[in-house]
Amino acid sequence: MENCQSYKERYHQVKYEVLITKRTYERHAEITDEAEKHAQELSNEDYAEIAPDTEHQQADDVAEGSTVAAEYQSWILFDP
């Protein structure tokens, strides 16, 4: 608490920095929420246009014995 007699005094010392940091995180949260909403609205056809060879490549990887594609796929489907 750098030379402060109370937490309140320390808060007043760093109040401006706290507010700036808070605004930054709030802005990023809004951007992240918008991106997530947009991703949920995409259809399977949209994904096919974005990465047309991805499913084929993952199938080849699994056929060759690679577990990376399967692990990646389970990570994508994770929804806490």
Q: Total structural domains in the chain?
A: 2
Instruction: Tell whether 25 and 61 lie within a shared domain.
Output: no
- Spatial neighbors of 29 by CB under 8 A, at least 6 apart, are none
Q: 57 and 79: one domain?
A: yes
- Categorize the per-residue pLDDT at 78 as very low, low, confident or very high, splitting at 50, 70 and 90: very low
Per-residue pLDDT reduced to its tens digit, 45-58: 666 676 767 777 77
Q: Is residue 46 part of a domain?
A: no
pTM: 0.35
Burial state string for 1-24 with b = 16 or more CB within 10 A and e = fewer than 16: eeeeeeeeeeeeeeeeeeeeeeee
Question: Range of 69's domain?
Answer: 51-80
CB 41 within 8 A of CB 33: no
